[in-house]
Structure 1
Amino acid sequence: MQQPLAYRMRPRNLDEVVGQQQLVGEGKIIRRMVEARMLSSMILYGPPGTGKTSIASAIAGSTNYAFRMLNAATDTKKDLQIVAEEAKMSGTVILLLDEVHRLDKTKQDFLLPHLESGRIIMIGATTENPYITINPAIRSRTQIFEVKPLDEADIIKAVKSALADKERGLGDYPVKLDEEALKHLARATNGDLRSSLNGLELATKSTPKDAEGNIHLTLSIIEECVQRKALTHDKDGDAHYDVISAFQKSVRGSDVNAALHYLGRLVEAGDLPIICRRLMVMGYEDIGLANPAAAARTVQAVQAAEKLGFPEARIPLADAVVDLCLSPKSNSAYLALDAAITDIRLGNAGEVPDHLRDSHYKGAKDLQRGIGYQYPHSFENAWVDQQYLPDKIKDAHYYEPKATGKYEQALGQQYQRIEEWKKKK
């Protein structure tokens, strides 16, 4: 039985890894570990199809160590013992342990001494947050790296590579892939390269040759093979981004009917990750301090949608969109932060005042660190007149409260009271 395209195209070394340059690029942590031959056990976490197994395979290929794959949920302690025996004979084995968050105590206890000795280099793969789901004993013996969803350019590069590769890919097939079909293949799988390659292989092998002897893959064929509809059949392929833009602008403009329309388009396209990310952005970017509770409800709706999946996910998503649309709006907080960042980038920072510096170490008093600091809770209204900003920008003002929601109105009133106290002092 022939292995799937995604399996055959796994990278043989770090140079063949698609994306994840923050980990495997020149000068980055995993490449440094491989080049120095100072590998340590690690946990890679991120969405499916983003390269966790590929990175493990590439590390093994780049180091020429034996490479074994097990699943923490389904493989037994005996399977781990076999790997350990091989490591004793060969020196070092790289073990990709999938679903590492499912590792039970018995297997964990067996594995720990082998990780400590370095005989087994474990690369744990998980879609769960390891800081929450993985036992501290394992966590403390590994480095944790987040694997990001691949972007459109990464997937296009991988698809073109698979089409050209005659040894492992589809290079022997006379494929003609339309540009709009290629873009949809890259976008519809939401950064999941495995799904993109699976869709490409299905389309290639299930489409008959045309009169000219080519396997012509059109947008409609790719839509069928990845089970995602394109938002619209536009020539330049910009509709995907146009609909997302219109979606946010409709919410920001409080047009609930338009927002639901664009949400409907995204639902029909099956773009759940994009919808969820955009809703959370809007909750904090456009509604912000005018109604923080709406942003919190949006996060809850997104979590419910992700657990439910389509078609039921549309229900909490619709609730969140109506809630955000009809909520008061404020962007004051992030505009204030952007103003502060602009100052910093222009060199307007300066030294932290001595009375605010850390004083919890020997010799701090001799350096005048922390001396003169006044503890606000010891004063009326938990406020005392003292300088917090560096001398260089001590009179800077970044935050400009808006009066579009009761919550921020209250914040603005307190902000004004504090400014008046300063003037009196």
Structure 2
Amino acid sequence: MALFLQEPLAVRMRPRTIDEIVGQTHIIGPHTALYKMIHNGYVPSMLLYGEPGVGKTSLAYAIAGTVNREFFALNATTSGKKEMEEIVATAKMVGNVILFIDEIHRFNKAQQDYLLPNVESGLITLIGATTENPFHEVNPAIRSRCGQIKQLKRLTSEEIVVLLKRALQDKTRGFGALSLDMDERFLQMIADGTNGDARSALQALEAVVYAARQNDERIVVDEQLVLDCIEKKGFSHDKKGDTYYSLLSAFQKSIRGSDVDAALHYLARLLEGGDVAAICRRLLVIAYEDIGLANPLIGVKVNAAIQAVERLGLPEGRIPLSVVTVELCLSAKSNSAYKALDKAIADVQAGKIGDIPIHLKDAHYDGAKVLGYGKGYVYPHDYPNSWVSQQYLPNELEGVQYYSPKENGEERHYAKVYSRLRELRHKQ
């Protein structure tokens, strides 16, 4: 078997023009403005963002190939001012060039200060790529120079199969020159196992072909080999990336929405990422933010589960995590307590404070009685049910209502007590 050692398959199979791109039709389909601009020879500066393997680099190369323009590629973490000076010098000789900068969110100030005037003058067309959300992580000065900010999506399983077939059929860049026995269902297995990541899918195919056995001048692929080559290929986890925070967000929102299966799915992905501490913190927040007074004991249960996880470690720690996740999902929900506090905080920040009623002020020091502090205070424990009506809020806020109880779970009881106490207080 002839081995392709010069470049990885994923690099060799990059689309040469935008018409060879598979997927991303929402950005570069024939109906889009960007497609029409490029076919008319105009390339705007742009930012491309999305998860690894969705085709950001491939799209940049395809754009350059379509307009047949001088193309340069740099990485913001490894390239400096010298490389950019050489690119600018070339642009001054040949005219506008396309500069692709990967990981552009890591662009430092010196690089930026040198490059941006050349982008503004039209000498350089900038295509930046990032796995981060550019609205959060990319410098506003760069964003303002980019007329297009486009999010690329993971490819569908069907689109991945198209790429794999193309690689198997291409005799120059792919494996078309080889005598290869490979069932089409194996291509579907690779597509399903790489979760929309084109690079991972092509890497898996390459690994399969090079690991396959030869039989009478033919290369034979079996199912177990495919399974070995795609193990965990479709999983990615970046504890500092946009996807990581989206996973935590989806986890909490699934619990809040009482969807057990979705919550367990996101819990599994977070566990595979290995950040147990973040999972525990989020579960504890959920217990008080989303369940709250509807099930007041849930916080105790979650805290006990966290302590169990700390003692057990993984993989056994997943067991208490699964239990509290399901219980949180199926518990009655209430956010009334912290929402009430937020209203009170808003009043305090807006200056709605007022003086503490004099009968509530501290009277446990010499001279307090001279000031009248504590005078008139009524001790609730001296009365039936340890309750007596008296004013607690400052005069300016008397009668205000921050807490709006919900009729969910255990909070039904608190709602009745709260309403009755307000009624009694206002009758006095």
User: What residue in structure 2 maps to residue 322 of structure 1?
Assistant: 324
Mean CA deviation greater in 52-61 or 206-215: 206-215
Give per-residue Cα distances to partners, 1:196-247, cap 9 Å, x unaligned. 10111111022122357242242x21222233399xxxxxxxxxxxxxxxxx
Mean CA deviation greater in 50-59 or 129-138: 129-138
Q: Distance in 1 between the 2:221 and 2:141 partners?
A: 53
Give per-residue Cα distances to partners, 1:59-117, cap 9 Å, x unaligned. 00110101111011101111011111111111111111011011110010000011111
In the TM superposition, what are the counterparts of 1:24-423 in structure 2 within 5 Å? 24-142=28-146, 143-211=148-216, 213-218=218-223, 220-228=224-232, 319=321, 322-328=324-330, 403=408, 406=411
User: What residue in structure 1 maps to residue 18 of structure 2?
Assistant: 14
Amino acid across the alignment from 1:29: A
User: Please, which runs of 5 or more residues in structure 2 have no aligned partner?
Assistant: 235-253, 300-312, 334-398, 420-428
User: What's the CA shift for 1:36?
Assistant: 3.4
Aligned CA distance change for structure 1 residues 73 and 405 (closer, same or farther; 3 Å): farther
User: What residue in structure 1 maps to residue 306 of structure 2?
Assistant: none
SS in 1 for 2:77: coil
User: What's the CA shift for 1:267?
Assistant: 9.1
% same residue: 38
User: What's the CA shift for 1:320?
Assistant: 6.7
Give per-residue Cα distances to partners, 1:339-364, cap 9 Å, x unaligned. xxxxxxxxxxxxxxxxxxxxxxxxxx
Aligned CA distance change for structure 1 residues 130 and 263 (closer, same or farther; 3 Å): closer
Aligned CA distance change for structure 1 residues 21 and 323 (closer, same or farther; 3 Å): same
User: What's the CA shift for 1:254?
Assistant: 6.4
User: Please, which runs of 5 or more residues in structure 1 have no aligned partner?
Assistant: 231-247, 298-310, 332-379, 383-400, 415-425
For the 8 Å contact 1:44–1:145, the answer to whether it is kept is yes
Amino acid across the alignment from 1:147: L
For the 8 Å contact 2:51–2:154, the answer to whether it is kept is yes
Length-normalised TM-score, structure 2:
0.59
Q: Distance in 2 between the 1:292 and 1:28 partners?
A: 51
Aligned CA distance change for structure 1 residues 172 and 65 (closer, same or farther; 3 Å): same
Give per-residue Cα distances to partners, 1:266-318, cap 9 Å, x unaligned. 899x699xxx9xxx9xx99xxx9767999xx9xxxxxxxxxxxxx97996897
Amino acid across the alignment from 2:195: N
Aligned CA distance change for structure 1 residues 271 and 13 (closer, same or farther; 3 Å): farther
Runs of 4+ that moved beyond 4 A: 251-255, 262-268, 288-294, 311-318, 404-407
Amino acid across the alignment from 1:322: V
The CA RMSD measured in Å over matched residues stands at 4.6
Length-normalised TM-score, structure 1:
0.60
For the 8 Å contact 1:291–1:327, the answer to whether it is kept is no
SS in 2 for 1:140: helix
SS in 2 for 1:10: coil
Mean CA deviation greater in 313-322 or 194-203: 313-322
Q: Distance in 2 between the 1:224 and 1:87 partners?
A: 47
Larger Rg: 2
